[in-house]
Amino acid sequence: MHTRTLGQGLEVSAVGLGCMGMSQSYGPNPGDRDDMIGVIRYAVESAGVTFFDTAEVYGPYVNEELVGEALAPLRDQVVIATKFGWNIQDGKMTGTNSRPEQIRRVADESLQRLGIDVIDLFYQHRVDPDVPIEDVAGAVAELVQAGKVRHFGLSEAGADTIRRAHAVHPVTAVQSEYSLWTRDPEPKVLPACAELGIGFVPFSPLGKGFLTGTVSTSTEFTADDIRSRVPRFEAGNLSANEALVAYVRALAEPKGCTPGQIALAWLLAQHPWIVPIPGTRRRPRIDENTGATQVALSADEIADLDALAARIGVQGDRYNPAGMAMVGL
């Protein structure tokens, strides 16, 4: 596994691991916690992954505990990112909260749950309309000065917000959804990152599984699977979107790789400071996802993928209306 550098010199593996799905969002949670710990350690020891993503709200709380326990014996080899920015009451999100006192409290509690001395990368999970981003950046800057946080990140923030935050304290990474079927960051956010020297971390780089070619109109999602509430995964929209996956599959077959690897290779080819964080619960998927770093796409193949995606378009929003209201792109 080769490495890439996000902003402020933060070096990580070219493909990271999003750990959210080990605790929520994609159907029944794994019954064997030890197996999930094994998957995380396998990612480091067998695949060379050094970049791990979690958040206090995943679970909530239990995902940080899982990641912390799994990476404890490997702490000096890895970069751990977590997030703040929500009110959590009785195990449920009740709106955003990025007041400075909340940020400080979450940092201390995340450090304890993760069992670490410093948070490598601390993201604001969603922009809080009630708290100026300058106050947020200032609070994280104080945590950096105190030695509790190394790097500051933003998630699903717009270009103006990124610029304002960066003017107060350097932003190391912006994390937003980005893939062949979610191109929202391209017009404004990616150019802002390029200008300011900020890394970009795509979550859901495989389209919540769609771009792997394993999801179709016949796929049934359980009530606790987030995709059951995402408009893009409604049967009519999925049917319209399948043409993109069919092309990706046709491109993958002669290369001896998978559609998911093509989707990740396309992302890696966009900019050298892009580091996708596909999630999985299985060791073979770790191997598949990290193997995307060995898949070469020609300039013509990338152009063809771009042209096809633009021509076909995507049917359905990537969140329900409440979720779309939280996106600042």
pLDDT value of position 216: 87
Nearest 5°: phi and psi at 117?
Answer: -90, -20
0.75 cut: is pTM over it? Answer: yes
Per 3-state DSSP, the chain is made up of helix, strand and coil in percentages (nearest 5) of 45, 15, 35
Q: What CATH superfamily is the domain 3-324? A: NADP-dependent oxidoreductase domain (3.20.20.100)
Q: What is the pLDDT of residue 130?
A: 97
pLDDT of residue 321: 83
Confidence at residue 26, expressed as pLDDT on a 0 to 100 scale: 81
Instruction: Enumerate residues 6+ apart whose C-beta is below 8 A from 214.
Output: none
pLDDT score for 27 = 74
Number of neighbours of residue 248 by Cβ within 10 angstroms: 24
Q: What confidence score (pLDDT) does residue 29 get?
A: 73
User: For residues 319 and 232, is the Cβ–Cβ distance under 8 A?
Assistant: no
Q: Which two tokens stand for residue 89?
A: 């009451």
- Which residue is catalytic, options 26, 58, 178, 247? 58
Report the pLDDT value the prediction gives residue 325, as an integer from 0 to 100.
80
Q: Where are the domains of the chain?
A: 3-324
* Low pLDDT (below 70) residues in the chain: 31, 329
User: How far lies 150's CA from each of 82, 170, 270, 318, in Å?
Assistant: 12, 11, 27, 31
Residue 58 annotated in active site? yes
